[in-house]
Structure 1
C-alpha cells in the first residue's frame, strides 16, 4: 500500500477557470477503465513544458515539443494510458499526429494547437482507432471540476490517484493552483515525472512560465527516484489561464513572481512525493539529505548512489540496519578527493558512522528502531563545503519485482 498518502476526495481538487476536462473508457489496454483524458483550454492560455531527455523519447513527446514550438495558442491536451506509443518509429509519430488532428476537428482548432501524451507499455502499436472513437465520449462529459476523474484516468500501475490544490492571494486576487500526476515505477526523471499537469488561473507571461516550469521541475520531480529508470514519456506541463483578476506578471524581480513560483513549487513537491510514496511495492518513504559538499553536483552524486542501490533499498524493506551498504554507496559515488574520515552518517537522529567507521555512540537497537519506521531520513554530512541537496526515494520490496514481471499480463 502507498506510504502515508491521505485519501484524496474529489472536492479537494479545485476547478481552474479556463480549463475543462473530459474522460472516457476507450479500451486502450483493457475494458472498463478510465484511460482517455481530454483537457480543453480557453483561448489565450499560456502553456509551458519540460520533457524527458531519454534519447528513445516517445512519439507523443516529439509531437508535443514540436507543437509547443510553433503553435500560437494551445487549445487542448489529449492523454491516453495503457500504451506509451514509444519505440514505435515513424508509425508512432503518424498516430500521434492523427490523434491531434481528430481532436482538433472536433474542437474546431488546428492540429498544432493540440498536445498529445501517452503512458503505458513501450514498443507496442498505439490503438489509435480506439482513441479517436473515444474522443466524442470524453468531450461529452467535460467539465471544470473533473480533476479527480482526470487523476484516475492517467494512472497505470499507480494504486491511488494523485492530486493537489492550493490557493494564494496576489494583489487582492485569489489565485488557484491545481495539479495532477501519475507515476509509480520507471521513475528517475530527468526533467519531470512520468506525467504531470499543473494549472493555475494566474496571469503570467509565457517566457516567465517556461522559466518557472524548469525551476519547479528541478526542485521537485527531478528530486525523486523509485528505481533509477528514466521513462521515455516523461512530461510536466504548466498551464496559466490568466483568468484571475490581477495584472500580468512580466518581471521575475516582481515579488508576485516569487510568490506564485513558491506556491506552484509546493504543489509540485507534494505531487512528486506522492509518486515516491506510491512507488511500485513501496513500504518506506526515504529522504536522502547530503550536506556540506563542495558542489550541488557532488551532493547529488552521493544522494543518488544511496537511493539507487538495490542493496540499500532492500535493507530498508527488511528493516535491517545493514548500514555499511550506505557507506559503500557513498564510497563509490565517484567524488574526487573524498576523505571518509570527515563524513558523518545519520539515520534520523541516530549518529551511525564517523571518522571512517561505526560511531562509538551507535548501537544496533537504535538503528533497528529507526528502520522499522515508515518514514526515514538518511543524512550524510561530507564536511567539505557549503552545498546541500535532498532527494526522495523508497525501498524495494517483493511486490516491485512482481508488478514489473507481470506488467504486460
Structure 2
C-alpha cells in the first residue's frame, strides 16, 4: 500500500509542470543550485580539495479543494567527473526528500501524509529528518496546537511516534513534545523516549533580545541487556539583530549547549545523551568532526553526548555596501565527563564569514574556519582549517 501511495505521488510530481498549464493554475515550481569549493586540513595535516554541487527542486500545488501536494527533489554531487553522465546516472543520484499530500480541515483536523519532516526546529535536541514516511495530524484545541505523528523509522520495527503541544503563555511561546522510537529487532533494547520542553520569546530591552530555552530528558529501560538510559540536554540561545550602529546594522548571539555524559561505563546506567536524530551545527569544523552524517538540509546530525559548548556570534551588515553581511563566531567545547585519559578540553574554534546578495536570485558566500584541538580531541596540536567559497542561484 505504501509503495502504491508513493508511486501515485511520484506520478503527480512528474506531471506537475503539465498540470500548471492545464486546469491546475496553483502549481508552483521553484528550485536552486548551490556550488561550494572547499579546501580543508584536519589536525593530522591531511588536506583535501573538493567541489560540492547541490541542485534542489521544490514543487507544490493544490490538486483539489483542501488537498495539496508538496515535493522536494535533490541531487548532490561531491566529486567531479570528467566523463559525461547519462540521464540514468543523474537520476540515480537524485533523491526524493519530501513528497506528501496535505489535507485541510477533516472535521477540524489537518493531515500531512507521505514522506515529510516530522521534527520541529524548536526540538533540535531531539529529532530532525525529512526522510520519514509518516502521517501527521494537527488540530487547534483552544489556545493549544496539538500534533500527533506516526512514522516509519530507518530500520525494521523502530517506528517513531510523537505528540507535540504548543501555544502561547502571554508573550512567551511554549512547546512540549514527547518522541518515542521503537527498539527494532534487538530484544535487549527497549523504546527510546525523549521528553522535550521549549520556550521562546523576546525580552523588551534595547533592540529586543530573542531568547529560547530547550530542555530534553532521554530515558529507556534497556539500551542493552542490563543498562538503562538516563540522560539530559539543554540548549539556550540569546540574540539580537537589526541594531543600527551608524556603520550598519549589528547582530549578536550567544548559544550554550550542555549534554550529559556517561560517568562510568561499567555501571547499569548510560548517561550519554543522544536524542533520536538531533540536528545541531554550532560552528563549522567542530560540528563536522562530531557528525556521523548530514541531514536533509545538509546540517550536521551531530553526536552531542557529553558536551559543554559556548558559542558567541557577531554580525554586521555595512551601510556602505548593500547586500553584504559579515560574521564572526567563536566557540569553546569541553567534555562534561573526563575521557579515559582524564582530559576534558575538546576544542576552540573561530569562524569568519562573508555573504553578498547580488540579487534576489544570486548570492555569494565565503567561510574561513580554524579549530584548535584540545587533548580530549587529539594529541596532535596542529590546527584544523577550512576555506569554503560558494554561490547559490535560485529560480
> TM-score, length-normalised on structure 1?
0.25
Query: Relative contact order, CA 8 A, sep 6+: which one is greater?
Result: 1
Q: Which has the higher strand share?
A: 2
Structure with more of its chain in helix, by fraction: 1
Q: Return the TM-score normalized by structure 2.
A: 0.26
